[in-house]
Amino acid sequence: MTSQSWREFFRHIHSEYGITETEYRVLYYAQGGTCYVDRTSTGPTKRNPTARRLGVDHNHLTGEVRGLVCTGSLTANTCNRLIAIYERPQLIRAVEMLSDPPPARAVLAALRSGQITGIPSLIPGNPAFDLSDVKGVSLP
């Protein structure tokens, strides 16, 4: 898309996503001139004029624009592809794993303290469980 003129690019995003050049530029500025997800990819700049433009991320069901993200690779090396590969619940769980405290901390703390009953489940809505419920685990 870098060979595409800015005029063609803005015409494309208006017809495809319903946002104007002004709206794109304001989103870009509001995001600090970077990809909303990785906060490092900038799109073309004076320092890096050949970088790919940030793409318009949108909800494929509603069409709502969610922000501008880095694009271009057919692998999961860009935020646009990462978002496309995984569904929202999977991405939310990935964020939960990176949170503090990570979800596994409660389970590991229970085990390491010698707890054998009432171990917390990491699946919302599932009840706590006992070590005797886990196949292949010997009770102390």
Q: What is the CATH number of the domain that holds 49?
A: 3.40.1800
Indicate the pTM of the whole model.
Answer: 0.71
Q: Is residue 84 part of a domain?
A: no
The reply to whether 10 and 67 lie within a common domain is yes
The reply to whether 10 and 65 lie within a common domain is yes
Q: Which residue has the tokens 């271009």?
A: 72
Residue 2 is predicted with a pLDDT of 46
3-state SS, residue 134: coil
Q: Is residue 90 part of a domain?
A: no
**Domain end point (choices 32, 56, 71):** 71
The reply to whether 63 and 108 lie within a common domain is no
The reply to whether 110 and 54 lie within a common domain is no
Q: Is residue 127 part of a domain?
A: yes
Domain that includes residue 11, residue range: 6-71
**Total tally of structural domains belonging to the chain:** 2
Partners of 67 in the beta sheet?
Answer: 57
Q: Is residue 115 part of a domain?
A: yes
Residue 131 is predicted with a pLDDT of 87
The reply to whether 21 and 65 lie within a common domain is yes
Q: What is the distance between the alpha carbons of residues 57 and 133, in angstroms, rounded to a whole number?
A: 44
68-123 per-position pLDDT tens digit = 999 976 666 889 888 888 888 999 998 988 888 888 898 999 999 999 899 998 88
Q: Is residue 87 part of a domain?
A: no
Q: How far apart are the first and last CA of the chain?
A: 62
The reply to whether 118 and 66 lie within a common domain is no
Residue 73 is predicted with a pLDDT of 66
